Structure 1
Amino acid sequence: MPKKVDRHERRTLIADALMRVAARQGVEAVSLRHVAAEAGVSAGMVQHYFRTKDEMMAFAMAVVRERTQVRVTDAIARLGDDPSPRLLLRTMIAAVLPLTEESCADGRVALAFLAYAAVRPEVAAGMREDTGQMLDAVAGLIPAHGREEYAAGVLALMEGLGIHLLGGHYTAEQALAALDAHLDLVFGSAEGAAGR
């Protein structure tokens, strides 16, 4: 009887290979052939699971999202019961920022995918939904009129810090200090506006 193949496991193996290629050489180096060589499988096997580069890229990004969600969930669980909204938001963002070897690799793939999707509207559609959900989650933690604008600023800060961390422009300590300073402004301004 032939061995049963776990489709998700195979796709994840290929996505991991794609991420290693993208992290090392950039998204332009990602091809079915390069990914197959990195995964140690045939190009035919890659094509069996992914018909196009877009499908492969979208699945790899979904894997990055899942890993990031696990990091965020684990970090929040360590906070215990009833953390303050500011601490909860800081913890979420710190878990997303590329501060560890694993999150740096995921961050490089996310950045490469963002550049890839910027010129492919059909690929970017899923990212818009993710951004909207993240914006809503962040806005829900900020107690003020205008919370959507504050939330957009926090997400922009997170993305900017991520790019500077990946580029080696900031240390983890500098990035977290900048995050803390911004959250002090947001929560100070938000609480002041809520009290008016």
Structure 2
Amino acid sequence: MPKRVDHGQRRAHIIEALVRVAAAEGLHAVTMRAVAAEAGMSLNLVQYYFDTKAQLMHAALERLEQQSHARWSARLARLPQPVTPQVFVETFLAEALPTDEESRAFHLVWTSYAVLAMTDPELAAQPFVEGPNRLERQLTAVLQQARDESAADRSWDAATEAAHLLTLAHGLGTSVLVGQRGAEAATRILHAHLDRLFDPGE
């Protein structure tokens, strides 16, 4: 009886190989042949699951986003309940900082993809910004609820603050990736901003 193939597992194995190559050498160094070698597969087998490098790279982004969301959910589940809006947002944005090997790989691949997409029409055609858009909508909803339920007079706009926070977090994440500052310093900067945002006296 022929061995049954788990296609989902094979796709995941190929994607993980891409992430390892990208994390070690940069996304510009990723080729279908390099991914095949890292995965221990033939090039034809990789191309059976992913027709083009752009398709493979987009699949990798989707998987990394799912893993990032799972890490965030796990962080949230470990917190004492009920979770305050500020702690919820802090936990949410902590995933935007490359503080360990997994989150570093995620941010390195995503940032590299965004840079390559600026000059590669095939990559730019992929809807890779939907992930960040989804995060921004989710963060906006949390901030809006916190603003509406606060006894303090909060004059800030939830959508504007959500964009501001995500931009700050991603900028700090990039500064960690390039060695401008450490993860702890970036986390302190982020917390300081949130302390001002949620200051009950504001």
Does the alignment reach a TM-score above 0.5? yes
**Equivalent position of 2:108 in the other structure:** 108
Name the stretch that deviates more: 113-122 or 140-149.
113-122
> How many residues are treated as equivalent by the alignment?
191
- What is the identity, as a one-letter code, of the residue corresponding to 2:26? G
The answer as to whether partners of 2:32 and 2:46 remain within 8 angstroms in 1 is yes
Q: Runs of 5+ in structure 1 lacking a partner?
A: none
- What's the % identity of the aligned pairs? 37
Residues 85-94 or 110-119, more deviating: 110-119
1:81 matched to which residue of 2? 81
Deviates more, 1:137-146 or 1:81-90: 137-146
Structure 2 contact 21–30 (Cα < 8 Å) conserved: yes
Q: Which has the higher helix share?
A: 1
Partner of 1:152: 163
Q: Which residue of 2 aligns with 1:178?
A: 189
SS in 2 for 1:2: coil
- Structure 1 segment 24-35 matched on structure 2, within 5 A: 24-35=24-35
Task: Name whichever of 45-54 and 91-100 sits farther off.
Answer: 91-100
CA RMSD of aligned residues (A): 1.8
In structure 2, what is the Cα distance between the partners aligned to 1:25 and 1:9?
24
CA distance in 2, matches of 1:177, 1:185: 13
- What is the rounded CA distance, in whole Å, between the counterparts of 2:63 and 2:23 in structure 1? 14
Distance in 2, Cα, partners of 1:43 & 1:118 = 27
Counterparts of 1:74 and 1:121 in 2: how far apart (Å)?
36
1:121 positional shift: 5.8
5 Å-filtered alignment, 1:23-62, equals 23-62=23-62
> Equivalent residues in 2 for 1:161-176 (5 A)?
161-176=172-187
Q: Is the 8 A contact 2:14 2:35 kept in 1?
A: yes
For 2:129, give the aligned amino acid: R
- When the two structures are superposed, what TM-score results if normalisation uses the length of structure 2? 0.87
Normalised to the residue count of structure 1, the TM-score between the two structures is 0.90
Q: Which runs of 5+ in 2 are unaligned?
A: 148-153
Report how far residue 135 of structure 1 moved: 0.9
Q: Is residue 139–residue 151 contact of structure 1 (8 Å, CA) maintained in 2?
A: yes
